[in-house]
Amino acid sequence: MTQTEPKVSSSIDFSTDGKHHGHLNIPHSRNDSGWGALHLPIVSIRNGDGPTMVLTGGNHGDEYEGPIALMKLARTLDVGEINGQVIIIPALNYPAVLAGDRVSPIDGVNMNRAFPGRRDGSISSMIAHFVHQKILPLADAVLDIHSGGKTMMFSPFACYHQIADAGVTEKAKQAVLAFAAPISLELVELDAEGMIDTAVEDMGKIFIGCELGGGGTTTTDTVSIAETGVRNLLAHFGIIDEQPQSLEDRGLTPTPLMHMPDSDCYIISDDAGIYEALIDLNSPVNTGDAVGQVHFPRKPEQPPVVYRAARDGTLIGRTHKALVETGDFLALIATDM
Ligand SMILES: [Zn+2]
């Protein structure tokens, strides 16, 4: 083993045809298991050379549409119905998923800030390193399924980023439209460094993201959007032979493609207190409209501080928790493209 090879190994040979349920072996020596390892489930379904998609869920451990949709897909997708390869990781931050927390209980690391990872880093960093070195290079396109977790709530959207390569940006946009979430969004990240998104895009590959709900749970709608979106992408990339199901096919109203012209789209709290949302998700807003207000339980006589939209658009995300701190995300506004 050279010093650049991951310390993590896989029980699956990703170059062999067939359907393989296996695991990544991550060394994890600890008090209750001296020579222990963490076994992180991974699935490869391969039928000859062809387009390859990597599908990940549970990047954050309190977001459940991804793990649910991807476990169902891994059980039901038959090798005979595909062309190429699908690699499925239902719980990318596996310890976080088992704990029901956003970040890993082992090292406190947010998996989506751990890329490209380190071979000799903490558990999360070793997982990111293996995925970066051994899985992402196999992919033509990567879907990472998110939702708002315990602290945020989103109007379900699929998203891509505008990157330097206009050709790859356009392919990602077409894939997002094929996913057919109720909203398709060109997303601007608050903090893109260390994300799997950025790692994939830096390899010149197509990345598709999504935020499908939140609150630390799922709904029948959000799981259905995830399941349909995944199959739509497999169809879009020619891995399965079926027609993508459009929003109209499902009796839903398509919305215009949306974007976020700048970081003014994010409303961040300058106060600590109790947040009261004054408008609901999917509401149209104009610049200056009150979106929510923060109350001060220690000083009931003090009026709340009102937070206002800095641009026209639609409210597509909000804090789910009511008790907020300074620096917390309060709301997200996107505008029609
Ligand atoms: Zn997430």
What residues pack around ion ligand 1 (CB closer than 5 A)? 60, 63, 146
Q: How far is the CA of 291 from the centre of ligand 1 (A)?
A: 23
How many angstroms is it from 18 CA to the middle of ligand 1?
A: 31
CATH number of 261-336: 2.40.50.100
Is 319 in contact with 294 (CB distance < 8 Å)? no
Span from the CA of 152 to the centroid of ligand 1 (angstroms): 9
Query: Nearest to residue 213, comparing CAs of 205, 204, 222, 203?
Result: 222
Nearest to 68 by CA among 81, 80, 55: 55
155 CA from centroid of ligand 1 (Å): 14
Q: How far is the CA of 188 from the centre of ligand 1 (A)?
A: 15
CA 147 to chain centre: 7
337 residues of the chain, pLDDT tens digit each? 456 899 999 999 999 999 999 999 999 999 999 999 999 999 999 999 999 999 999 999 999 999 999 999 999 999 999 999 999 999 999 999 999 999 999 999 999 999 999 999 999 999 999 999 999 999 999 999 999 999 999 999 999 999 999 999 999 999 999 999 999 999 988 889 999 999 999 999 999 999 999 999 999 999 999 999 999 999 999 999 999 999 999 998 887 899 998 889 999 999 999 999 999 999 999 999 999 999 999 999 999 999 999 999 999 999 999 999 999 999 999 999 9
Instruction: State in Å: Cα 273 to ligand 1 middle.
Output: 24
Ligand 1 center–CA 16 separation, angstroms? 31
Report the 10 Å Cβ neighbour count for 98: 14
Q: Give residue 57 CA to ligand 1 midpoint distance, Å.
A: 9
The neighbour count for residue 62, using CB atoms within 10 Å, is: 22
Maximum Cα–Cα distance for the chain, whole Å? 69
Angle at 152 between CA 159 and CA 316, to 5 degrees: 50
Within the chain, strands assigned E span: 9-10, 18-27, 37-47, 52-56, 84-89, 141-146, 152-154, 157-160, 183-186, 206-211, 258-259, 266-268, 273-277, 284-285, 290-295, 305-308, 313-319, 323-324, 329-336
Spell out the CATH class of 9-258.
alpha beta
Q: Domain segments of the chain: what residues? A: 9-258, 261-336
Distance from the alpha carbon of residue 282 to the mean position of ligand 1, in angstroms: 20
**Which tokens go with 116?**
């490209």
